[in-house]
């Protein structure tokens, strides 16, 4: 299995949309209607930060993605997702490490992300050196680390 990481291209948007939709349906089904009503805002974030959108592929097939934003004082991981068929192969960790390297290359030395308390991805974040710093107003766990 060879994983290729690359910057996103416009043709990746449908797969990214499906990944976000799958996440909402799986982890936050009560928020699906509000997520859909804010789809324009989500698309704007993807477009405004397109050069910070990394895609993972295996054999040319879409396997996952991550997106982060520059919040001036820190780099915020907005989303990270690996397709169901490609999970548990280290792709999420590759995307996470790439986020840290990309942020550092742009002069951001502080990394931040949030995750639902019941999302098993929090273990990956902890193993990557992120430390729990609190809970945000929506009940998500807030993790931080240096780039």
In Å, the largest CA–CA distance within the chain is 40
Phi then psi for residue 138, to 5 deg, are -95, 5
Contact (CB, 8 A) for 15 and 61: no
Q: Are the C-beta atoms of residues 57 and 6 closer than 8 Å to each other?
A: yes
In whole angstroms, give the CA distance from residue 96 to residue 77: 9
Report the pLDDT averaged over residues 24-37. 92
pLDDT given for residue 22 in this prediction: 93
The mean pLDDT value for 129-144 works out to 96
Sorted by where each starts, the structural domains of the chain and their CATH numbers stand as: 3-146 (3.40.630.30)
With pLDDT > 70 as the criterion, what percentage of the chain qualifies? Answer: 100
- In the predicted structure, residue 74 carries a pLDDT above the cut 80: yes
């Amino acid at each position: 299995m060879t994983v290729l990481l690359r910057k996103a291209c416009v043709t990746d948007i449908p797969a990214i949309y499906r990944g976000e939709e799958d996440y909402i349906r799986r982890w936050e089904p009560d928020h699906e209607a509000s997520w859909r009503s804010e789809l324009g805002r989500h698309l704007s974030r993807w477009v405004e930060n397109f050069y910070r959108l990394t895609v993972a592929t295996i054999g040319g097939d879409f396997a996952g993605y991550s997106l982060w934003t520059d919040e001036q004082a820190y780099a915020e991981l907005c989303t990270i997702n690996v397709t169901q068929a490609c999970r548990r192969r280290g792709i999420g960790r590759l995307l996470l490490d790439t986020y840290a390297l990309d942020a550092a290359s742009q002069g951001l030395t502080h990394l931040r992300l949030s995750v639902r308390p019941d999302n098993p991805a929090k273990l990956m974040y902890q193993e990557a050196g992120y430390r729990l710093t609190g809970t945000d107003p929506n009940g998500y766990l807030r993790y931080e680390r240096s780039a």
